């Protein structure tokens, strides 16, 4: 199939995207989800969007861009566009030091606060860019372990993401067997169950872990977040690096409004927030406490 361009030439499914189309598409993506699309991402975007071109029975990337940008199909296609271009790399116990801090320091410190998180009311956790669910399920494993030593301990875990496709995967709680390698052996034995299929070995979280997490759709670029405003811990890791500084500041300001005084904000180890004027103080590497 080919598509005749304005200059009389033709484009096919496997032709590269024009610079103008890529820049226009990049503007839409940044406007709606804050993710910048530099020229270095062009090949990646082209490869991923070819699946949507085929699904829509279009002939080329140029026709796809014309379809959503010039022919009024953007609203209907926006969710699929964001699903395609967002990167969702994740592992259980990614950046292990954060979970060690939570187990050894954070949870005990929070339980000593006057408003009684974990005792008088459930301690509330939010994974704000949860991808396919490894982060909130890791939190559930850590909290179940803490619960084994603190019988009265109660908690709630909320997990959100902009990508509907990864949220569907997260709710299934089925992962490649290779992901078990990052889970401590004793926890793997308690909380993971391996499939018996040799042709497609997978693992699944046990019900007590799956049922501990509430998943929902949320775009961090939204002006307001429809989430509880009394979170004790918020994880927003390895997503801020895709935003420019003003967007980072706007997102973190909103997250802080949902975090209780004395609560913890966790960011990625490669992310720096010290230059931003925020109501937080550093507690450990990439861990901050709400003033």
Active site residues: 48, 161
Element holding 245 (H helix, E strand)? helix 245-257
Q: Does residue 268 contact residue 240 with C-beta atoms inside 8 Å?
A: yes
**Count of CB atoms within 10 A of residue 15's CB?**
17
Burial of 76 (0-12, 13-18, 19+ CB in 10 A): exposed
Which residues are registered as beta bridge partners of 281? 289
Which residues are registered as beta bridge partners of 282? 288
How far apart are the C-alpha atoms of 80 and 49, rounded to whole Å?
10
**Count of CB atoms within 10 A of residue 104's CB?**
9
Alpha carbon distance, N-terminus to C-terminus of the chain: 60
How far apart are the C-alpha atoms of 279 and 257, rounded to whole Å?
9
């Amino acid at each position: 199939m080919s598509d005749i361009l304005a200059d009389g030439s033709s484009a096919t499914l496997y032709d590269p995207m024009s610079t103008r189309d890529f820049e226009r598409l990049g503007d839409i993506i940044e406007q709606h989800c804050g993710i910048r699309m530099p020229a270095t991402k062009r090949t990646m975007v082209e490869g991923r969007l070819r699946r949507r071109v085929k699904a829509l029975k279009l002939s080329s990337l140029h026709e796809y861009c014309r379809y959503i940008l010039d022919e009024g199909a953007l609203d209907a296609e926006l969710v699929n566009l964001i699903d395609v271009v967002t990167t969702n790399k994740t592992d259980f116990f990614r950046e292990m030091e954060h979970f060690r801090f939570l187990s050894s320091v954070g949870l005990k410190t929070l339980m000593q606060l006057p408003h009684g998180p974990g005792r008088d009311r459930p301690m509330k956790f939010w994974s704000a860019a949860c991808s396919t669910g490894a982060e909130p399920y890791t939190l559930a494993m850590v909290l179940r372990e803490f619960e084994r030593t603190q019988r009265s301990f109660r908690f709630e875990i909320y997990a959100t993401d902009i990508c509907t496709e990864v949220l569907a995967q997260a709710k299934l709680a089925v992962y490649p067997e290779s992901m078990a390698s990052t889970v401590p052996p004793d926890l793997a034995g308690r909380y993971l169950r391996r499939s018996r299929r040799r042709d497609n070995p997978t693992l699944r979280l046990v019900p007590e872990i799956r049922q501990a997490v509430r998943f929902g759709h949320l775009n961090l670029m939204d002006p307001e977040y429809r989430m509880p405003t009394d979170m004790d811990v918020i994880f927003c890791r390895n997503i801020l690096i895709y935003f420019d500084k003003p967007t980072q500041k706007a997102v973190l300001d909103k997250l802080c409004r949902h975090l209780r005084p004395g609560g913890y904000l966790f960011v990625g180890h490669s992310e720096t927030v010290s230059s931003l004027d925020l109501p937080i103080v550093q507690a450990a590497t990439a861990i901050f406490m709400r003033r």
